[in-house]
């Protein structure tokens, strides 16, 4: 009997302790809920409220109009196109027809003969260039051809032959010009972060006079380096044009044997329009 009584006492004590523990836990929980302590005291780091998702970027289709800003050399100025439109004007027309909305050439700062040094100088001297880029949806750029070819100066006379093509002069000017191109890309990407920037790759205007094709690797080296520089900026795209002139050079060049004619510019504009699709 005594052993049975002890057993019941043990069971009863255990049950009473469990009941008291549960009651104490309940009271503590209610206290915590009603009077929460700061996170610094509890050691619990409260998670910040979830950030609101960023507004979706405006697409070409959703824009009411497209504003183009262009800069660079004679190619962007349209030299050689007797219609006066060049690739900038023809691209404007193609995009307007394709997207069925107004497309405006907001500014065209291109000047024939310009080199990379001239673009950077104008950028420093003319505040309206950076201001215009802020408003642009599409930025077009050609530069580098005059840095390399220099109007044909010192591009002839290989091996003592005055009529032989000599690309060494272009090669010697390349590295410094590419450094300036890098600076131009960086400035443009910063000034127009929401715009699409298209840089026109170079073609070889003297290809039919370059029997040994000595200039082709130099032009391709420039284009390859330009691609690497542009690749640092997600909104800059290099649009290749070398192949557009390679097989039928004289058909697409103006009489000065350097600039595209109207049909040549149309091929460039078509390539750029396809790039934007």
CB atoms within 10 A of CB 11: 10
pLDDT band (50, 70, 90) for residue 153: low
How far apart (Å, rounded) are the C-alpha atoms in residues 121 and 192?
18
Contacts for 253 with CB less than 8 Å, ≥ 6 apart: 80, 205, 245, 259, 260, 261, 264
What ranges make up the beta strands (E) of 65-207? 66-72, 103-108, 138-142, 196-200
Q: What DSSP string describes 30-70?
A: HHHHHSPPPHHHHTPPPPPPPPPPPPPPPPTTT-S-EEEEE
Please report the pLDDT score of residue 190 as a whole number. Answer: 97
For the segment 83-102, what is each residue's pLDDT rounded down to a tens digit? 999 999 999 999 999 999 99
pLDDT exceeds cutoff 50 at 187:
yes
135: three-class secondary structure by DSSP? coil
pLDDT exceeds cutoff 50 at 249:
yes
How far apart (Å, rounded) are the C-alpha atoms in residues 213 and 144?
20
Q: What is the CATH number of domain 66-275?
A: 3.40.50.1110
pLDDT exceeds cutoff 50 at 76:
yes
Please report the pLDDT score of residue 166 as a whole number. Answer: 74
- Please tell me what DSSP assigns to residue 277: -
- Give the pair of three-digit tokens for residue 71: 């800069």
How far apart (Å, rounded) are the C-alpha atoms in residues 44 and 56?
35
For the segment 192-213, what is each residue's pLDDT rounded down to a tens digit? 999 999 999 999 988 888 878 8
pLDDT exceeds cutoff 60 at 28:
no
pLDDT band (50, 70, 90) for residue 7: very low
Contact 239, 199 (CB under 8 A): yes
pLDDT exceeds cutoff 50 at 11:
no
pLDDT band (50, 70, 90) for residue 56: very low
Please report the pLDDT score of residue 191 as a whole number. Answer: 97
């Amino acid at each position: 009997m005594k052993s049975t009584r002890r057993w019941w006492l043990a069971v009863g004590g255990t049950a009473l302790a469990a009941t008291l523990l549960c009651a104490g836990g309940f009271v503590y929980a209610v206290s915590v809920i009603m009077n929460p302590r700061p996170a610094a005291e509890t050691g619990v780091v409260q998670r910040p409220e979830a950030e609101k998702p960023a507004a979706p970027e405006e697409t070409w289709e959703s824009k009411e109009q497209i504003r183009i800003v262009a800069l660079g050399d004679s190619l962007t100025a349209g030299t050689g196109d007797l219609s006066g439109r060049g690739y900038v004007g023809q691209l404007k027309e193609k995009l307007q027809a394709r997207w069925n909305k107004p497309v405006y050439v907001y500014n065209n700062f291109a000047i024939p003969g310009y080199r990379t040094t001239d673009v950077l100088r104008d950028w420093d001297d003319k505040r309206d260039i950076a201001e215009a880029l802020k408003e642009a949806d599409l930025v077009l750029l050609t530069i580098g051809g005059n840095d390399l070819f220099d109007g044909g100066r010192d591009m002839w006379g290989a091996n003592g032959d005055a009529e032989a093509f000599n690309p060494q002069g272009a090669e010697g000017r390349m590295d410094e010009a590419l450094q300036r191109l890098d600076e131009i890309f960086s400035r443009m990407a910063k000034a127009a972060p929401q715009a699409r920037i298209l840089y026109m790759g170079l073609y070889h205007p003297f290809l039919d006079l370059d029997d040994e094709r000595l200039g082709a690797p130099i032009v391709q080296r420039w284009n390859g380096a330009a691609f690497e520089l542009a690749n640092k900026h997600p909104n800059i795209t290099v649009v290749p044009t070398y192949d557009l002139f390679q097989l039928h050079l004289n058909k697409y060049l103006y009489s000065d044997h350097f600039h595209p004619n109207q049909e040549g510019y149309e091929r460039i504009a078509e390539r750029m329009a396809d790039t934007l699709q």
